[in-house]
Amino acid sequence: MFPVVAAEFPSVSRLPSHSGDPVATEQESTARPVADFDRPGATVDRPTISSFAQWRILTAHQLGHYFRTQRFLGLLAFVTLISALTLAFELDAGTAAVQAAQLNRSSEYLSNFLDYVGLWIILAAAFFGGDALSTDFSTGTGYYMLVLPVRRPVLLAGRYAAAVVVTLAVVAVYYTFGIAGAAYFFGGGSLPYAALAISFGLAALFALAALSVAFCFSAVVRSPAAGVIVTLLTLYVGFTTLQGVLELAGIEPWFSLTYGGGAMAAVLDTDFLHYQAIPIGEDQFYTLWSAWVGEGAEIMLGYIAVFLPLSAYLYQRKESKG
């Protein structure tokens, strides 16, 4: 069947208008002819896709990648298993023992339970962000991805959004177990819901900061495995060790991301102390510092403001080499 071309049929007056009007005049239809696909060299007007639409597609594609590789489900299952075992041991110890250990306060229980949420976020940042950009420069699929008519900042934004979604999903599961345990041992009416909301907001900020650092490492290294390892070593081993050394020397580790992340649990601690000096000998003290809520939020925002734009800059300038 031969194609019908509007230019060859000027008497046709009801054609789709390019401006969105369902009725096109004869002059409009003849002024904008439709190409005949049978003619050599014919061209077709292709609709342009906005950057926002590309971002949505890339985010959905990256989420599907996390599910296909079992990376998200594996980490989620691991966090669920650890959380369930923790509650099982507490149930075995008995309600009275748990209440006595937590000073008969649900806030103390939640503060101690959520003290490990930073570890899960760092693991998620390494798994979901440590190789998010380096795959474009070390695998064959990356060569095809970078030649698509999509700007690199949009590529980065889509992958970053997907990593944030799956990281917060893991965090939400851990918070759910903590809240369930506190409600069981202390009653649902005793839960500090306002402080919990602030804590989860800080956890979201910490996830954004950790992923920003992970994406920056991923934009620097070419090996996906190296990006994951460097993220883990820096955010967990490096910052934790440096923080301990500085506290031993009596210096506040105000620049450490893990130090700022401590505010996630500290906001629930009713006996919060910003500074503690523990005597360890004659005229010798071991100092412990805990970030205020505002201080912790500022540290996390600072890491986001520095490392996320730096990730975009490095990713934009990096070349793919075969």
Q: How many CA atoms lie within 13 A of 121 on its CB side?
A: 29
10 and 154 assigned to the same domain: no
Q: What's the confidence (pLDDT) of residue 284? A: 80
208 and 132 assigned to the same domain: yes
43 inside domain: no
Q: What's the confidence (pLDDT) of residue 283? A: 74
62 and 34 assigned to the same domain: no
46 inside domain: no
Q: What's the confidence (pLDDT) of residue 144? A: 76
9 and 63 assigned to the same domain: no
9 and 57 assigned to the same domain: no
57 and 32 assigned to the same domain: no
Domain residues for the domain of 1 are: 1-38
170 and 25 assigned to the same domain: no
Instruction: Look up the pTM and report it.
Output: 0.83
3-state secondary structure string, 12-41?
CCCCCCCCCCCCCCHHHHHHCCCCCCCCCC
Number of domains present in the structure of the chain:
2
245 and 311 assigned to the same domain: yes
CB 156 within 8 A of CB 63: no
167 inside domain: yes
44 inside domain: no
47 inside domain: no
174 and 282 assigned to the same domain: yes
292 inside domain: yes
CB 212 within 8 A of CB 126: no
d(CA 132, CA 156): 8
User: Phi and psi (nearest 5°) for 269?
Assistant: -85, 110
103 and 13 assigned to the same domain: no
130 and 267 assigned to the same domain: yes
For the chain, the residue count is 322
322 inside domain: no
pLDDT (tens digit, 0 to 9) for every residue of the chain, 322 residues total? 444 444 433 433 343 444 444 444 444 444 444 445 456 555 555 667 899 999 999 999 999 999 998 999 999 999 999 999 999 999 999 999 999 999 999 999 999 999 999 999 999 999 999 999 988 887 766 667 777 888 999 999 999 999 999 999 999 999 999 999 999 999 999 999 999 999 999 999 999 999 999 999 999 998 889 999 999 999 999 999 999 999 888 899 999 999 999 999 999 998 889 998 888 877 788 888 999 999 999 999 999 999 999 999 999 988 755 4
3 inside domain: yes
109 and 229 assigned to the same domain: yes
